């Protein structure tokens, strides 16, 4: 087998669609019955790699005695920033009765407020199977 067929970088840079599920595992649906979706870049995308490198460098600088202590809160903020950077759009996201227009800042707020969405994004972005040619066939 030619391993280039399993290169996830290209599709990770293009993104894939996550259909949200509620905390009980049920699909989250829009009023018209279509799924609420997030479009996400993969772990191997240039954007996510850059954020991961930044976060790792921040941690290593702290560990090497620069005086900056890496806290759990900082780690959570870094993760939220990473997921917001990995989000390129969405469909059907409604919060407090209002359709939420996509922006990186809105994504950060969404992931801060709803940890169950953040959990799904974490799993989806990190699952390379979502960014393979096989995942695109239907």
For 11-52, the pLDDT digits (tens) are 999 999 999 999 999 999 999 999 999 999 999 999 999 999
Per the domain annotation, does 133 fall within a domain?
no
Please spell the DSSP secondary structure of 109-135, one letter per residue: HHHHH-HHHHHHHHHHHH-GGGGSHHH
* pLDDT tens digits for range 89-111: 999 999 999 999 999 999 999 99
pLDDT at 58: 79
Mean pLDDT of 70-80: 87
Q: How far apart, in whole angstroms, are the C-alpha atoms of residue 104 and residue 124?
A: 18
Mean pLDDT of 107-128: 97
- Residue 115 domain boundaries: 3-126
Per the domain annotation, does 134 fall within a domain?
no
pLDDT at 68: 67
Per the domain annotation, does 73 fall within a domain?
yes
The sheet that has 37-40: what strands, in order across it? 16-19, 37-40, 87-91
Look at residue 5 and tell me whether its pLDDT is greater than 70: yes
Look at residue 138 and tell me whether its pLDDT is greater than 60: no
Per the domain annotation, does 136 fall within a domain?
no
4 three-state secondary structure = helix
pLDDT at 127: 96
The two three-digit tokens of residue 102, written as one number? 């996509």
Per the domain annotation, does 85 fall within a domain?
yes
Per the domain annotation, does 97 fall within a domain?
yes
**Mean pLDDT, the chain, whole residue set:** 91
Confidence band for 1, pLDDT divided at 50, 70 and 90: confident
Per the domain annotation, does 131 fall within a domain?
no
Total structural domains within the chain? 1
- Note the pTM of the prediction, 2 decimals: 0.89
103 Cα distance to chain centroid: 13
């Amino acid at each position: 087998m030619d391993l280039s067929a399993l290169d996830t970088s290209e599709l990770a840079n293009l993104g894939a669609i996550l259909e949200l599920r509620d905390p009980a595992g049920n699909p989250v649906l829009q009023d018209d019955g279509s799924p609420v979706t997030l479009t996400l870049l993969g772990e191997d995308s240039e954007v996510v790699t850059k954020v991961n490198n930044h976060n790792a460098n921040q941690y290593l600088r702290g560990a090497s005695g620069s005086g900056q202590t890496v806290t759990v809160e900082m780690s959570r903020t870094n993760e939220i920033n990473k997921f917001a950077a990995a989000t390129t759009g969405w469909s059907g996201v409604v919060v407090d009765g209002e359709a939420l227009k996509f922006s990186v800042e809105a994504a950060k707020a969404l992931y801060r407020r709803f940890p169950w969405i953040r959990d799904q994004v974490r799993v989806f972005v990190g699952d390379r199977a979502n960014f393979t040619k096989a995942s695109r066939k239907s």
